[in-house]
Structure 1
Amino acid sequence: MSSPDDFPYALTRAGVIMTPEPGNAHEVEGVLNPATGHTPDGTLYLLPRLVAAGNVSRVGLARVELTDGVPVGVTRDGVVLEPEREWEAGANNAGVEDPRVTFIPSLGLHVMTYVAFGPLGPRTAVAVSDDLREWQRLGPVTFEYDDALGVDLGLYHNKDTVFFPEPVTAPDGTLCLAVLHRPVWELGEVRPGEGNRPPATVPDPRPSIWIAFIPLDAVLADRRELARWRGNRFLAGPEYPFEELKIGAGPAPIRVPEGWLLLHHGVTGVIVNSMAQQQNVNYGAGAMILDGDEPWRVIDRTDAPLLAAETEDERSGIVPNVVFPTAIEDIDGRLFVFYGMADSKIGVAKLERREKTAS
């Protein structure tokens, strides 16, 4: 494993690009954790999480403004997803939260995973679009049962989900789409008295990154298969101090010479009721390299954050001390990471390959 100074990639802040708009009721509790994508004409857009009073979230659309190829701001272009279905809203909560969008060329579609904050708490859902504006909901994700694993993943809350951009060969040799997810084993928040119920087969009871697979042929025959995840297996759990409480996937993994580069978040502090907005946590952005042929294998990872909550925008907000990466875009040959800042604003950082120094 690598220290941030030895890891082959580095993050450098490039600024704040979106803050809540005064007088906009959809944004009074923050703009954060965006997805990104290009429309058919090549225009780059953010799909930010917009939070209204009462922690009610929507997914917006905002054109990214560039100066000399660097994102510097946005122009808002409305709302593309609202908590309109019964599984996206409970009696006292509602939201479509934390979208991740991956364009998958083999499908010709943008595939969005998002958190539907419904009657039983947070569940992963999937929607698809060919233009970023009109989204077809495919519904909440279901998980194929595997008796060898001995766990019904459908019982548990799940967040931090994102698709790989290209098919991979699954462990069983099938050409599949791969997706990362993060189950949470605490059932007491849904059914009091059940408590934390991690399966006996899980190597770490803390919230960790899992990987699932969906046969490409099945998706090409019926896009609804994108919401039916098979072959679920543990990928990586917390290992280092900045991940003491939990980890979760960030943007869609990208191909690099070493394999797949995955940015993730690690969390320390104290969590009180995981469905509430936290005040005593610290989120930092780490990274992993997954094997290029077997992406369920971690071959390198950082032992400390590449980016931690250090600026005032990252340290002060609705949830203090949060750096939460959710999207990566190539802009004129340079990579930029978009991330949530203290659950209140959206920042951007340059993702660059670290030059090796001669020993």
Structure 2
Amino acid sequence: MIPFKLNRICTIMEPEAGNEYEVEGVLNPAVTRGPDGELYIFPRLVAKDNYSRIGIGKVKFNADGDPFEVERLGIALEPEMDYEKRPDGGGGCEDPRISYVKSVENYIMTYTAYGPDGPRIAMAKSKDLLSWERLGLVCFSLYKPLDFNNVDDKDASFFPTDLPSPHNHTSIAMLHRPLFPESIPEKTVKLDDNRSIDQHRESIWISYFNLKEGQETCLEHAQFTSHYRLAQPVYPWEKLKIGAGAPPILTKHGWLMIYHGVRKHNDCTEDQPRYTYSAGVMVLSENSPQEIIYRSPEPILVPELEDETIGIVGNVVFPTGTDRRDDIGQPERIDVYYGMADNRIGVAKMTIPDVLPKYWKSL
């Protein structure tokens, strides 16, 4: 029995008719509670030619406490900086995640800046979620033989509280997924199903920004170090690629991370490769997040609905945001917001189980 299971609530957002900012989709949102207790959503809005902005909206709930619609409030970020714009006139601020990071007393948004060098992780901060100040690209120390500064990188999010690094320094921790050229699904789909996994180049990583006692914490120009390889593809449902999803949230079992995995679609051929993006769950140790306590051997959500199987990119569920329902007195309920076929946004809910399996089996 899988101890986590997502139950769909609704398709909560889809492209608005006549809105030029959304003609190619609304997808992959961040969600977080604001200072006013309201739930804010930050969808990726895709205009013509895959030009992406990050919007702002407020989630509305029905009498049963379930989310059912979004009130659009405007734009949080759009491509303005050189690292967000491409020479051909394109650009992108994509796929945000947001955490309130206590040590900097700000909401921190990580997002994919799609600029001249390809996708890179960028940051912005806010006190109120309505106005945002850019902090620039994330910088990494060298990790031989890998240089994260010169490789595509996505799917980044912060832990909300300070944590000890592998070297026991008090730090701010960030999940991310470097995309080495040989580790993208377009490459791995062509390899044998029993291929060996390149652990360094196909993993979700945790990197740390070490805090210094007595100094003000500032993420601008911060250098992340103490890189730790967290997880690589293990199970058949995630064999081609895994990536971090929603920011981790603390539960009674540890840090809950909803992530995505990619496998070959049943109709995949050499001439027409097709993929299936599904959602899974990891639970990480509260005080040592490098330790995986539990990992779902099967996906907790797979593309089944028409909204998930037909779209800009079909057969995709892509989790990027979570909301713990303390607001209705149900702290064990987690609502998960996810992209649907790169075109719409869905929301599903789960209940944190009372007990986890004593172990998970690594294949």
Could you say whether these structures have the same fold, taking a TM-score greater than 0.5 normalized by the shorter chain as the test? yes
State the secondary structure of the residue aligned to 1:26. Answer: helix
Cα RMSD, aligned residues only: 2.3
Partner of 1:164: 159
Q: Are 2:339 and 1:343 aligned? A: no
1:219 and 1:128 map into 2 onto residues whose CA distance is 22
Partner of 1:193: none
State the secondary structure of the residue aligned to 2:212. Answer: helix
Deviation, structure 1 residue 187? 8.0
On the 8 A contact 2:208/2:227 being kept in 1, the answer is yes
Partner of 2:67: 71
Change in Cα spacing, 1:187 to 1:119, as seen in structure 2 (3 Å) is: farther
On the 8 A contact 1:126/1:226 being kept in 2, the answer is no
Partner of 1:107: 104
The one-letter code matched in structure 2 to 1:139 is G
Deviation, structure 1 residue 260? 1.2
On the 8 A contact 2:210/2:224 being kept in 1, the answer is no
On the 8 A contact 2:183/2:201 being kept in 1, the answer is no
Change in Cα spacing, 1:218 to 1:184, as seen in structure 2 (3 Å) is: farther
1:130 and 1:72 map into 2 onto residues whose CA distance is 26
Q: Are 2:300 and 1:306 aligned? A: yes
Deviation, structure 1 residue 269? 2.8
Deviation, structure 1 residue 41? 1.7
State the secondary structure of the residue aligned to 1:217. Answer: coil
CA displacement, residues 211-235 of structure 1 (integer Å, 9 cap, x when unaligned): 0111233896242357421111211
On the 8 A contact 1:279/1:320 being kept in 2, the answer is no
Change in Cα spacing, 1:251 to 1:24, as seen in structure 2 (3 Å) is: same
The one-letter code matched in structure 2 to 1:352 is T
Q: What are the within-5 Å matches in structure 2 for residues 204-219 of structure 1?
A: 204=199, 206-217=201-212
Gaps of 5+ in 2: 185-196, 266-271, 357-363
State the secondary structure of the residue aligned to 1:106. Answer: helix
Higher mean alpha-carbon deviation, 306-315 vs 208-217, is at 208-217
Higher mean alpha-carbon deviation, 325-334 vs 78-87, is at 325-334
1:62 and 1:72 map into 2 onto residues whose CA distance is 13
2:355 and 2:172 map into 1 onto residues whose CA distance is 33
Q: What are the within-5 Å matches in structure 2 for residues 130-209 of structure 1?
A: 130-146=127-143, 149-186=144-181, 203-204=198-199, 206-209=201-204
On the 8 A contact 2:334/2:352 being kept in 1, the answer is no
Q: What are the within-5 Å matches in structure 2 for residues 1-359 of structure 1?
A: 5-7=1-3, 9-67=4-62, 68-92=64-88, 93-146=90-143, 149-186=144-181, 203-204=198-199, 206-217=201-212, 221-225=216-220, 227-269=222-264, 280-331=274-325, 332=328, 333=330, 334-354=333-353
The one-letter code matched in structure 1 to 2:338 is Y
Deviation, structure 1 residue 293? 1.8
% identical equivalent positions: 44
Deviation, structure 1 residue 299? 2.2
State the secondary structure of the residue aligned to 1:23. Answer: coil
The one-letter code matched in structure 2 to 1:72 is F
On the 8 A contact 2:35/2:128 being kept in 1, the answer is yes
Gaps of 5+ in 1: 190-201, 271-277
1:325 and 1:220 map into 2 onto residues whose CA distance is 36
Number of equivalent positions = 331
TM-score between both structures, scaled by the size of structure 2: 0.86
Partner of 2:194: none
TM-score between both structures, scaled by the size of structure 1: 0.87
On the 8 A contact 2:248/2:257 being kept in 1, the answer is yes
Change in Cα spacing, 1:256 to 1:143, as seen in structure 2 (3 Å) is: same
1:23 and 1:279 map into 2 onto residues whose CA distance is 33
State the secondary structure of the residue aligned to 1:15. Answer: strand
2:255 and 2:203 map into 1 onto residues whose CA distance is 18
The one-letter code matched in structure 1 to 2:94 is E
1:187 and 1:143 map into 2 onto residues whose CA distance is 21
On the 8 A contact 1:10/1:354 being kept in 2, the answer is no
2:348 and 2:171 map into 1 onto residues whose CA distance is 31
On the 8 A contact 1:206/1:245 being kept in 2, the answer is no
Deviation, structure 1 residue 151? 1.9
1:185 and 1:226 map into 2 onto residues whose CA distance is 24
